[in-house]
Chain A
């Protein structure tokens, strides 16, 4: 099946620094990727929809200047957490669809555990 690679798997950073997370579709082209955030023992909350070549669509309550998303190619989307603070510590997961057909499953990256000190 299709593979989505997410990097890094975990990152520890100091408060005030920026962190970039990469999400790559390895064997398919993903015109749309999704970024989720997950707190311990909770569900996935959609943060934004990343569209290749255009601006990302953010969910209500998600600060677009805080969470910068770039989808410059059909195989790569990046999420940058700017000026990270301890409350940004969370598990971030990306996903992508293999086909443009919305009626299909998502392939997920393995997630990035962010810890902000």
Chain B
């Protein structure tokens, strides 16, 4: 079942700007992951943040996790046209091998 809610549903920005999207979830988690999906393709793993971590960086990506608010954010800095895609958060809950995906944020980066 789906437990993540993402906000906004869609985002359009100019190349070079930053893009921020948020994810909220309902139950306790082991970790939270962010994935990217280009149109008509599979998902690509971007970053994983564990429940005891608060912030993580990977290149131009910055992820935060607030377990007290059950929320996470993904920031893409200095966006490029190639960042145009849908971004999904996914949670890995306790005692469960399965990932639950959020509804996704569609990001369009204009050249």
**A interface, CB within 8 angstroms of B:** 4, 6, 32, 34, 41-46, 49, 59-60, 91, 93, 95, 97, 102-111, 113
The winner among A34, A46, A97 for most chain B CB atoms within 10 A is A46
The smallest C-beta distance from A5 to any residue of chain B, in angstroms, reads: 10
> Are the CB atoms of B42 and A93 closer together than 8 Å?
yes
Interface range, B side: 20 to 34
**Residues of B72-111 whose CB lies within 8 A of A:** 88, 90, 92, 96-104, 106
Instruction: Give chain A residues whose Cβ lies under 8 Å from the Cβ of B42.
Output: 4, 6, 93, 95, 108-111
> Are the CB atoms of A105 and B33 closer together than 8 Å?
yes
Q: How many A-B residue pairs have CB under 8 A?
A: 61
**B interface, CB within 8 angstroms of A:** 1-2, 30-31, 33, 35, 40-45, 48, 50, 88, 90, 92, 96-104, 106
The smallest C-beta distance from A52 to any residue of chain B, in angstroms, reads: 13
